[in-house]
Structure 1
Amino acid sequence: MTNAALPRRTKLADRWPTALAMVAIAGAVAVMVLLDREVELFGPSIAVMAGIYLMAYAIGRPSTAWLAFGVLSVVMSVLHVLNDRQVLGVDPGVGMTIVLVLLWLWTVARHRFTEGRIFSIQTAGMVGFGALTLLCATVAPRLGVTLAGVGFLAHGLWDAYHFRVNQVVNRPWSEFCAVVDLGVGVALIIVVAT
């Protein structure tokens, strides 16, 4: 008798993306407590999250979501520094939305539009999350933080969908991102409520 018929038991070690996400949530909450800049810091992150999926989709390798996270986090950080030093007259949220559109154009240039359904879903994500990012950059700070929280929660659902279908990004990424998004989204809404 073979073990192929037995279901695989989930080990605690298999949940490393969730454990890593908890550390990331703690870091995000610390930023919220120490700095009073939630809308400035977390609004552009909505475009970053959508951009990670577009970058991995354009490359065509789901595991590159981790690389995309690093690259786009650096891009967002550079936009923040340039904005803080008044070198660049572009809000980081607007800048990240431009980057998001450029990533979408890259998927088109790589002929990923031939995968109609997946491409349409990624396009809808680019439009929706890009619009939320721009709204965060243009409305009053309190409303911007609320929208950022809603954006994070919506992206958590996006992650859960991608975890279920196991496309575009790998499952460890979608698990990690879903937990982070839900935790940070709730924290942002709590900040507004208090």
Structure 2
Amino acid sequence: MTGTTHSHPATSTDRWPSALGLVAAGGAIAVMALGDREAALFGPSIATMAGIYLVAYALGRPWAAWLAFPALSAVVAVLHVLRARDVAALDPAVGMTVLLVPLWLWAVARRRFTEPRTVTLQTVGMLAFGAVTLLASAVQSRLAVLVAAVGFLAHGVWDAYHFRVNAVVNRPWSEFCGVVDLVVGAALVVVAVA
């Protein structure tokens, strides 16, 4: 008897993360259409996306990205509300970037540095996406939207890499996030140049 495996042809249900990503991206585009605060709303999302990867990495559980997403989204939402109500003057982009440091330290404390290539990549991602987030909050409105677009598109490439190597986060997450990032990034480019 041979150890033959049977693979089934891919169906549309196998692409549920892409479909969910398109729905989420559609919601983001609706927010863009209804307001004019793209830089303020989408800039902090870049650091948030990096934070989601750091949570999954720190826990060593790729599926944890799905839990980190609503948790970190809630944190950035609270920062937006606090700033809008003049309770705290902290820019949500700065707050989310600063949050990356304890998330990275948490990964180190959990001794997740045993794979030098992975810890180096996650550290570079934290620094790069944090820098793009801060840059988006520091420049003028139209340029800030373009910087946010570059951040989203770059994170889409990050997702594609993680999908290919099947590391840090699970493939459904990197597929979902990649679709969101590429569609939202392209929409932000259109907003910035329109």
- Which of the five TM-score ranges fits, normalised by the shorter chain? over 0.9
Structure 2 equivalent of residue 87 of structure 1: 87
What does residue 111 of structure 1 align with? 111
Q: Specify whether residues 114 and 2 from structure 1 end up closer, same or farther in structure 2 by C-alpha distance, changes over 3 A only.
A: closer
- Looking at structure 2, the residues matched to 89 and 192 of structure 1 have their Cα atoms a distance apart, in angstroms, of 26
Deviation at 1:111, TM superposition (A): 1.0
Give the counterpart letter for 2:103 in structure 1. Answer: L
What does 1:1-194 align with in structure 2 at a 5 Å threshold? 4-194=4-194
SS in 1 for 2:36: coil
How far apart are the structure 1 equivalents of 2:73 and 2:121? 23
- Cα distance in structure 1, aligned partners of 2:189 and 2:38: 11
Q: Tell me the C-alpha RMSD between the 2 structures.
A: 1.3
Question: Residues of 1 paired with 2:81 and 2:3: CA distance?
Answer: 55
Q: Which 4+ residue blocks in structure 1 deviate beyond 4 angstroms? A: none
Residues 2 and 183 of structure 1, relative CA distance in 2, 3 Å threshold: farther
Given the superposition, is the C-alpha separation of residues 109 and 3 from structure 1 closer, same or farther in structure 2, using an over 3 Å criterion?
closer
Shift of 1:89: 1.5
Deviation at 1:9?
Answer: 1.1
1:10 maps to amino acid: A
How much has 1:193 moved relative to structure 2? 1.2
CA distance in 2, matches of 1:101, 1:5: 44
Instruction: Give the TM-score normalised by structure 2.
Output: 0.97
Corresponding residue pairs, total:
194
1:133-175 CA-to-partner distances (Å, cap 9, x unmatched) read: 0001111111110000000000000000000000000000000
Structure 2 CA distance for partners of 1:3 and 1:109, relative to 1, 3 Å: closer
Q: In the aligned structure 2, how far is the partner of 1:152 from the partner of 1:3?
A: 43
Name the SS of the counterpart of 1:134 in structure 2: helix
User: Structure 1 length as normaliser, TM-score?
Assistant: 0.97
Structure 1 unaligned runs (5+)? none
Name the SS for the 2:131 alignment partner. helix
Aligned-partner residue type, residue 84 of structure 1 = A
Q: CA deviation at 1:131?
A: 0.1
CA distance in structure 1 between the aligned counterparts of 2:133 and 2:113, rounded to whole angstroms: 24
Whole-Å separation in 2 of the counterparts to 1:102 and 1:41? 23
| Gaps in structure 2 of 5+ consecutive residues | none
Rounded Cα–Cα distance in structure 2 between residues aligned with 1:77 and 1:116? 34
Aligned-pair identity in percent equals 63
* Cα deviation 1:85-113 (Å, max 9, x = unaligned): 11111100000001111111111111111
Q: Distance in 1 between matches of 2:139 and 2:68?
A: 28
